[in-house]
Structure 1
């Protein structure tokens, strides 16, 4: 049965998904958003610091909340601005063009979709024109992607058709690149300005309405949570980096969902979206894809000398959600015995995590955590200091131990027999 599944994944499922994930635009989106993740993670920690749910701490920082939230608002609150630059840089590099020009023009095009307004201080003094931050956070990610593609493609077109200002060879390259970007930059800026401010077409609102069904399905439905979890495990079990492929497809949506949660909490509300990237990384795949921390723990109790060594080598990296040693050491890849719990376990833990948050038994994720933060600390911090997040992580870890146990026992028996028979592993 598992051989048929592996064959189906390898022959039918993997080729189109791998080709789709390697589309130039998707690679640029993936690389651009990933480049912004450190800033987002650092910024989101300030939500936890400012709003940590302990009465004594709240009283201590009550007069400084606005100041503590500044790093969050200027990092996560401007997520799409940074992403527009990163994605534009990445896409331009795939065309062997200047990455800086691609990034700057993409960011400029994105900012032109905003609407400057007269600003006032609390005392009523004029500030001049200001750009509202609404739409510059994760909610503007789809607009950032669209304007990035437009800007870089215009830059590429002008370069291919030689519609640029050429400077003499003696001119420094940095200056020459600036002049080369003048004509495409003019086309980009005038085009976006004309659409947004002359025609009055709000690109961001239109894209949010267009993609709102997808965001709702991915963020707050059971099927939207299960599909990426299932495919990540299936691809890994077939020998392909499932998270790399599935993440390329889902990450823009995950970014929007997470930004909405963080902004809601930062503004005094409650996070609403369930299906964020953190749900998979922190509550479902405990120890890495497939929830392999449970497997590493069980391996340390194996009778097989080989599996016991793999377990001991894998358990420390597994605590920090790094599981390549056990995936390729056990191995899990193309292993019919271990692939079953590797695929089944995350589906079950995703179900418990989804329904626990759907029923409001556990707060939804509002702090973007590095994937290396070990369980169960990650569950507590990611949910904004909700102790029930820790309980959910531990509960899912126990579930994974129970799911893996019979399969590990069967595999251990097989490996022990081979060792006793002198079969080279």
Structure 2
């Protein structure tokens, strides 16, 4: 067993970790990761608007702020269509063309929707295509535009030593790709092609996998695994969000139609509800154990880490204890990252706890406060407490072993220091 474990750690360190690191350094992957970070405030604004709308059910005198959600979270696909090509051009050192690439992304999104304009000039289109429902189109269109514009502007129409001002060169060079892209989008819709519907059908098999028990658990486990290897959980986060954001929008539509929500792979379930108490990997129970540690170093780290942990930020625990590349603590961390999402999926899919049906991406609120606010189901809070206790006892024996090792090191160091002082005296 020991030999197997050593072989596994060697493979993780020498093969998987470098491979994932190389993947995350790809320009287009970095552009998507950065795009989601950039639009996150708009997602949070939508979540706040939904929270206030919920309070309005109990306090009817509060103003109706549903429009705030429509013009923040409800425009997510449009935001990505702008930000992704913008980021690609920026990362490729072609910042002079980043703005026109982003603006072309916006134009392309509207053109692909094929809006109808009546004789009075009134435009009508499916507003849902601008939001989470159009996120896949915005993402793919953004990547294609980023690739097209970067390839084009690397060469350009003007010689490198031209004396014309840079802004003038960019204006004239931009005309051709912008015309071609918008024309292609207009022709596509004029031929009756429903790009948004086609994308939905194309990704249905992947969505089915991601919304299954195996897909749900695997996505969470991969994010946790990358984190424990010192890599960003954002490596897999865009894949997760590509499922999660349309899912919560679909749940809201189902409830509005008088049906029950069915999608579990959402930000509300994973990050605001049940799977990340204290941070990725459910490390709050571990942090509490650190506060009472016999090791002075671990106890000090625990005290520093507890405030961020309350708000589900666990970098001080992951890098301070550490868990990252610490074989002894990686084991319970990964075990928790399998058990917790597994039980969460089974409990919610079994109807024991209500599935969240409104956007509430407030994952930095302390749990279980945010847990309750995702679905207003007290059974969800009880279930959260059960998961917390399970994680506590999974971490405990491994932590005690590691604590004993660190305490022994500190004792030996203290004895060596005393001996040195005695000799010096």
Name the TM tier (shorter chain): 0.7 to 0.9
Q: Does residue 1:33 correspond to 2:36, yes or no?
A: yes
Query: Structure 1 residues 117 and 166, CA, compared in 2 at 3 Å: closer, same or farther?
Result: farther
Q: Does residue 1:202 correspond to 2:194, yes or no?
A: yes
**Contact residue 88 and residue 103 of structure 1 kept, 8 A:** yes
Q: How does 1:109-124 map to 2 (within 5 A)?
A: 109-117=108-116
CA distance in structure 2 between the aligned counterparts of 1:150 and 1:55, rounded to whole angstroms: 44
Count residues in correspondence. Answer: 408
Partner of 1:123: none
User: Which ranges of 4 or more aligned residues in structure 1 deviate by more than 6 Å?
Assistant: 164-168
Query: Structure 1 residues 105 and 318, CA, compared in 2 at 3 Å: closer, same or farther?
Result: same
Query: Structure 1 residues 162 and 422, CA, compared in 2 at 3 Å: closer, same or farther?
Result: closer
2:68 to 63, 67, 71: 71
1:368 to 360, 363, 385: 360
Q: Does residue 1:14 correspond to 2:4, yes or no?
A: no
Partner of 1:245: 235
1:82 to 73, 79, 82: 79
**Helix, strand or coil at the partner of 1:410:** helix
- Output the TM-score relative to the length of structure 2: 0.87
**Contact residue 138 and residue 259 of structure 1 kept, 8 A:** yes
Offset from partner CA, 1:219-255 (integer Å, 9 cap, x none): 2x111111122222323333333x1222244332333
CA distance in structure 1 between the aligned counterparts of 2:304 and 2:58, rounded to whole angstroms: 42
Q: How does 1:125-144 map to 2 (within 5 A)?
A: 128-144=122-138
CA distance in structure 2 between the aligned counterparts of 1:140 and 1:213, rounded to whole angstroms: 17
2:52 to 24, 49, 53: 49
CA distance in structure 1 between the aligned counterparts of 2:189 and 2:161, rounded to whole angstroms: 33
User: What is the CA distance between 1:400 and its match in structure 2?
Assistant: 1.2
CA distance in structure 2 between the aligned counterparts of 1:151 and 1:138, rounded to whole angstroms: 20
User: What is the CA distance between 1:401 and its match in structure 2?
Assistant: 1.1
**Helix, strand or coil at the partner of 1:369:** coil
User: What is the CA distance between 1:55 and its match in structure 2?
Assistant: 5.9
**Helix, strand or coil at the partner of 1:421:** helix
Q: Does residue 1:419 correspond to 2:422, yes or no?
A: no
Query: Structure 1 residues 167 and 29, CA, compared in 2 at 3 Å: closer, same or farther?
Result: same
Structure 2 residue runs of 5 or longer lacking an equivalent are 417-425
**Contact residue 274 and residue 357 of structure 1 kept, 8 A:** yes
CA distance in structure 1 between the aligned counterparts of 2:126 and 2:106, rounded to whole angstroms: 16
**Contact residue 261 and residue 272 of structure 1 kept, 8 A:** yes
CA distance in structure 2 between the aligned counterparts of 1:146 and 1:237, rounded to whole angstroms: 30
CA distance in structure 1 between the aligned counterparts of 2:159 and 2:185, rounded to whole angstroms: 22
Offset from partner CA, 1:246-292 (integer Å, 9 cap, x none): 22443323333233334545676543210123433232121112211
**Helix, strand or coil at the partner of 2:113:** coil
Q: CA RMSD in A?
A: 2.7
**Contact residue 216 and residue 265 of structure 2 kept, 8 A:** yes
2:320 to 329, 333, 339: 329
Partner of 1:99: 98
- Output the TM-score relative to the length of structure 1: 0.87
Offset from partner CA, 1:50-83 (integer Å, 9 cap, x none): 234x8643x556xx6xx43111122222210011
Structure 1 residue runs of 5 or longer lacking an equivalent are 121-125
Partner of 2:207: 215
**Contact residue 275 and residue 341 of structure 2 kept, 8 A:** yes
Partner of 1:311: 302
Q: Does residue 1:404 correspond to 2:395, yes or no?
A: yes
